[in-house]
Amino acid sequence: MLTAGGARGTAARTLHEAHATAIELGATPLRREIELLARRSRIDLAALPQAPVSRRQPGSEIAGLTARELEVLRLIADGLTNGQISERLYISPRTAGVHVSHILAKLNASNRASAAAAAHRMGLLHTAPD
């Protein structure tokens, strides 16, 4: 779609849907390729309407984290504080804290280190560089 001069909005929506499906299926290599294509095309997957990335049952590995929560989880794993996360994502520190609380609850993690370990197990820490 992108190389054939198709509608950019349609391509962005298609990439977003493919990204969500790859995450739902746990297809990490496919998810990384989709993210790489989105970056190359300057399509911001996070800017599209936020939808749950996974429809897995509670207790499953991803536990219904939204795309934004996955983004915050990666930053938690990088050791960022709520204040640093808020600066990086252009959100308030309070909003960052709410995201962190939701992540901990969804992952049944007692602290940030447990959440980071879960991110590592899910393969979320090895994304392709920009």
Residues 10 and 56 in one domain: no
Residues 61 and 117 in one domain: yes
pLDDT for 49: 47
Tens digits of pLDDT across the chain (130 residues): 666 666 777 778 888 888 888 888 788 888 888 888 888 878 887 765 444 444 443 433 455 788 888 889 989 999 999 999 999 988 999 999 999 999 998 888 899 999 988 878 877 665 544 4
Cα 106 to Cα 9, 103, 109, distances in angstroms: 31, 5, 8
Residues 76 and 12 in one domain: no
Residues 35 and 93 in one domain: no
Residues 81 and 111 in one domain: yes
Instruction: Please give the tally of structural domains in the chain.
Output: 2
Angstrom distance (rounded) from CA 98 to CA 73 = 12
Angstrom distance (rounded) from CA 5 to CA 9 = 11
Residues 62 and 116 in one domain: yes
Residues 62 and 35 in one domain: no
Residues 37 and 63 in one domain: no
Give one DSSP letter per residue of the chain, joined into a string.
-TTTT--HHHHHHHHHHHHHHHHHHT-HHHHHHHHHHHHHTT--GGGSPP-BS--PPTTSSSTT-BHHHHHHHHHHHTT--HHHHHHHHT--HHHHHHHHHHHHHHHT-SSHHHHHHHHHHTTTT-PPP-
Residues 79 and 34 in one domain: no
pLDDT for 38: 83
Which residue range is the domain that position 123 belongs to? 52-130
Residues 66 and 118 in one domain: yes
